[in-house]
C-alpha cells in the first residue's frame, strides 16, 4: 500500500504492479469518488501521486504513469513542457 495519499487516507487499491524498485498502484477513493495513480521508487524514496482527471481513462494513467508524471509535475518538481518537433 502506498505510503501517502493526499486525497484519501484509506483508498481502495484496485491494482498494483512492481518492476524492480518501482511500485505503481491505481487507487480509488470511495469518499471522494476519485482515482489516483501512485508511483513509489524504493531506490530513491520518491513518491509521485497522479490524480486521474475527469476525462482521463484511469487504466491509461496507470499503464503509462511514467509518461504522465513529467507532464504533470509533482511535489518538488515543475511540469516539463512538451518538446516541439523542428
Q: What is the pLDDT of residues 14-52, one digit of tens each?
A: 999 998 899 999 999 988 889 999 998 888 888 888 989
Assess contact for 29 and 37: CB atoms under 8 A. no
Model's pTM, two decimal places?
A: 0.76
Q: How far apart are CA 71 and CA 13, in angstroms?
A: 24
pLDDT value for 4: 53
Task: Give the model's pLDDT for residue 76.
Answer: 46
Backbone dihedral region for residue 51 (phi beyond 0: left; psi -120 to 50: alpha; all else: beta): beta
Amino acid at each position: 500500500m502506498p505510503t501517502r495519499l493526499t486525497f484519501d487516507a484509506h483508498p481502495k487499491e484496485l491494482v498494483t504492479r512492481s518492476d524492480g524498485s518501482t511500485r505503481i498502484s491505481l487507487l480509488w477513493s470511495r469518499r471522494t469518488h476519485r482515482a489516483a495513480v501512485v508511483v513509489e521508487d524504493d531506490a530513491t524514496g520518491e513518491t509521485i501521486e497522479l490524480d486521474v482527471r475527469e476525462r482521463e481513462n484511469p487504466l491509461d494513467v496507470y499503464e503509462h504513469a511514467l509518461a504522465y508524471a513529467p507532464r504533470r509535475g509533482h511535489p518538488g518538481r515543475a511540469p516539463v513542457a512538451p518538446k516541439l518537433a523542428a
